[in-house]
Chains A and B, each alone.
Chain A
């Protein structure tokens, strides 16, 4: 699929500042860090969750546990897409029961990924509360899913894609809006 870059949404500096702000929001709206844990959705939700946990750790001096979640087995489109995608592992080495969880992902779009993530979490136990933190909300929800913590809201068309690039996965920090080339 060929894409054409339309404009930059977030620079490296802006990403950094946004994550700072989100980290503070999370702690504030959670009434502290007790019971709090972050779950990064593979792939790019994982480095985002780790960065948030480090930041939170920096100003609260508490270690927030971070788990990684692979949603492949919970996707709702497996019967239609042909060969099944490779499964990655889910690594959540703390108990999920009674926890105050924040799912972290890079882009919120239709909501189907988050629906799958919630299913995955509930297979592991019964969290007390689950909220969502995303770097970019691009609209076009197909399910009743909302993020409690949003970095940036962007209006997009169906033809456009929000590409989040992170140092850990892509070698640079940048969020761009791209369009499918015809």
Chain B
């Protein structure tokens, strides 16, 4: 039994914002109310802290199977727990690709053994993510996937996207797309713009994302299928999502913390600023902030993409794309969005809880009977993030040495405190 006392409970589903106690029994929430008491309960004093439903990260890379030098399910989930996440959705671009039930089961079992945050795998949309034939999606669903994606790449053709979306609609799964036009993006290493010209680096125009997003949104309209746009980074793509939502089409999207914090002007010859989609222009970043505030954006997702140090310590154009993100996501959300007044604290909690849950077709709330997944955080705790102190095996982050006000303080999964700062 676990009793979390004196915390400020923020529950978007019930619009609760009050000082309340939460009593957990076994793996479920037993009671929520004022001045609760329970004999034999482990008491956690959450005074001065916020108690929210357990945060969900819709997009991450755990690198297992096949790339364990960069991260394992064990190290990745530990980092996720430190980041306040109670559940993470890992992308299928492992080695081998998670395109069949056996790989899916392997991931689920490793996650259970690690005993940390919940891992909900995302399966490949096409076999090997090669963009030709459909993967064994129904089999993977039985093994535990919550969505499909060919992340790392876009779903290869409009025709394939249609087939995947129709098939997945029948299975009740969303299709997550990494929106990119391969012909426009080819060879690019950062956002095309004045900074790419200045640095002499081949650029990827913003339209690479918006053209593909437009394609996907239309197919969602055509099929009625559920589309979720991964790591959305441009105004153009956001406009497609806005228009689709207006039409009642089942389109959702996520934005990463680095995309709402940094811009292409921050990029220099430092591979910790190299990711795909690349850091966008100031105008695009500002459009994302609007979308986060007005509800067009459904979720914040990290796209945690660890790469072991030797692979990133190379010339910019030879480095792999990606940065880590679990342990800085909440802090960036607080410092970049809430503290400057761009969104409310409740809205931030939505973006980490009910938003992602809705994309997956689930619920996320603090209410008796619900799974006891809770994220306890401070919106003021002063700390500095150091990459070397991260639980991840990788150090590729542009936020090394950054000071923050606000941090995850404790993470509860299935009634157990798996992280406590």
- A and B, direct touch (CB closer than 8 Å): no
